[in-house]
C-alpha cells in the first residue's frame, strides 16, 4: 500500500515538472516569435516595396521623358526681295495701244534702244539673246501691247506704208535674203529716226552683230528692203 502511494506521488510530481517545462517552452517560443516579429516589422517590408515601386516609376518617367520627341520650331528666314523684272502675262496684253499710236512711238523707240548690244539668238526673246522678230514682239510686250511673233506674220500686221518717203518712227521695215530678188521675208526692224530723205534709221537684231541701229539706205539693206508696215 505504501509503495503504491509513493509511486503515485512520484508520478504526479514528474507530471508537474513536465507540465511546468512545457509551459516554460511555450512561453519562451511565444516570446521569441514576438521579438523576431518586432525586429523585422511589417513596415520594413512595405517601405522596401514602396521604395522599389517609387524607384521603378521614377525610372520609367525618366525613360519616357528621354524618349519623348522634342518639339523644335524652325524659323524660316525671309527671302531676299526679288530683283527680277515683272513679266507681263500674255493674257494682260492689249490688242492695241490704249491711246493713239503716235503718242506711244517715243516709248517704243526708248524701249527698243534698251536692247542695243544684245547678242543675236535665233528664237530668243530677251536680253540674253534675241532675234529680229523677237525684238519687235518683246518691245511691244513691254509697253503692254500684243503683236505677232513671227516675221512673216508681222509683215502682214497693220497697214502697209505706201512708199519710203512716208516712213516715220514706229513703222516696221522688212527685208528678203537676197538683194534685187523676190523672196520670203527673212528680216525685220523698227524705224527709230527719220533724219532726212537719205537717212532713215531702224533698229534690228543683226545675226553677226546683235541688236544695233543701221541706215535703211546703206548698200546692204537698200537692195533687200521689200515693204514697210504701220502696225496701228
Alpha helices by DSSP H, the chain: 2-40, 42-67, 101-113, 132-142, 151-154, 219-222
- Where b means 16+ CB within 10 Å and e means fewer, 83-105 reads eeeeeeeeeeeeeebeeeeeebb
Instruction: Identify the residue whose cell numbers are 514602396.
Output: 50
Catalytic residue status for 187: yes
Grid coordinates standing for 214?
543701221
In 10 A of CB 211, how many CB atoms?
24
Q: Give me the catalytic one of 6, 35, 137, 204.
A: 204
- Where b means 16+ CB within 10 Å and e means fewer, 165-182 reads eebebbbbbbbbeeeeee
- Element (H or E) spanning 130, and its range? strand 129-130
Catalytic residue status for 132: yes
Catalytic residue status for 13: no
Grid coordinates standing for 188?
525685220
Neighbour order of strands in the sheet with 159-160: 159-160, 225-230, 172-175, 187-196, 199-206, 210-215
Grid coordinates standing for 221?
539693206
At a CB cut-off of 8 Å and minimum separation 6, what does 206 contact?
Answer: 120, 212, 214
Catalytic residue numbers, as ranges: 132, 187, 204
Amino acid at each position: 500500500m505504501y509503495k503504491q502511494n509513493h509511486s503515485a506521488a512520484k508520478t504526479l510530481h514528474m507530471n508537474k515538472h513536465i507540465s511546468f517545462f512545457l509551459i516554460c517552452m511555450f512561453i519562451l517560443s511565444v516570446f521569441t516569435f514576438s521579438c523576431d516579429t518586432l525586429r523585422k516589422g511589417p513596415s520594413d517590408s512595405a517601405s522596401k516595396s514602396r521604395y522599389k515601386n517609387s524607384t521603378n516609376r521614377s525610372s520609367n518617367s525618366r525613360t519616357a521623358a528621354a524618349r519623348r520627341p522634342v518639339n523644335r520650331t524652325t524659323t524660316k528666314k525671309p527671302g531676299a526681295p526679288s530683283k527680277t523684272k515683272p513679266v507681263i502675262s500674255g493674257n494682260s496684253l492689249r490688242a492695241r495701244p490704249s491711246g493713239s499710236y503716235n503718242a506711244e512711238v517715243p516709248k517704243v523707240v526708248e524701249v527698243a534702244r534698251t536692247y542695243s548690244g544684245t547678242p543675236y539668238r535665233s528664237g530668243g526673246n530677251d536680253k540674253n539673246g534675241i532675234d529680229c522678230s523677237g525684238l519687235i514682239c518683246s518691245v511691244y510686250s513691254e509697253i503692254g501691247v500684243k503683236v505677232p511673233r513671227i516675221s512673216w506674220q508681222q509683215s502682214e500686221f497693220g497697214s502697209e506704208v505706201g512708199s519710203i518717203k512716208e516712213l516715220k518712227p514706229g513703222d516696221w521695215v522688212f527685208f528678203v535674203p537676197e538683194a534685187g530678188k523676190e523672196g520670203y521675208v527673212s528680216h525685220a526692224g523698227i524705224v527709230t529716226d527719220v533724219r532726212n530723205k537719205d537717212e532713215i534709221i531702224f533698229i534690228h537684231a543683226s545675226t553677226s552683230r546683235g541688236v544695233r541701229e543701221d541706215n535703211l539706205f546703206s548698200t546692204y539693206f537698200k537692195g533687200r528692203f521689200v515693204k514697210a508696215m504701220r502696225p496701228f
